[in-house]
Amino acid sequence: QVQLVESGGGLVQPGGSLRLSCAASGRLLSINNMNWYRQAPGKQRELVALITRGGSTNYADSVKGRFTISRDNAKNTVYLQMNSLNAEDTAVYYCNVHIFTTSYWGQGTQVTVSS
């Protein structure tokens, strides 16, 4: 079975930081790319960051320089460190993995950036 469980979302002021966690089942992190997506109201789901099996990372232009994706294979957890948050970062954030032709998603965690 494949399970992804996000946590760490919440309310933060502009300029603040949050660290999201995604707990993954089994050995997913060691053999698959892991992704963070987000979906803001009225917008399509957007790929925010990814980390490959080998540790390479890539980011959406909108978050580059502010967000950092990382993984801890021993803990079966992928993280998204989010700094310098602004209102445009408000969204539901989802952990995701592709296995063959199937995409698996966590339940999402809400991030709200507001004064």
Q: For every one of its 115 residues, what pLDDT tens digit does the chain have, with 9 covering 90 and above?
A: 889 999 999 999 999 999 999 999 877 777 789 999 999 999 999 999 999 989 999 999 999 999 999 999 889 999 999 999 999 999 999 999 998 889 999 999 999 999 9
Output the pLDDT for position 39: 98
Output the pLDDT for position 16: 98
DSSP conformation letters of the chain = ---EEEE--EEE-TT--EEEEEEE-TTHHHHS-EEEEEE-TTS--EEEEEE-TTS-EEE-TTTTTTEEEEEEGGGTEEEEEE-S--GGG-EEEEEEEEETTEEEE---EEEEE--
Output the pLDDT for position 79: 98
Residue 47, beta-bridge partner list: 37
For residues 46 and 61, the answer to whether their CB atoms sit within 8 Å is no
Output the pLDDT for position 8: 98
What is the distance of C-alpha 101 from the center of its chain? Answer: 20
Output the pLDDT for position 37: 98
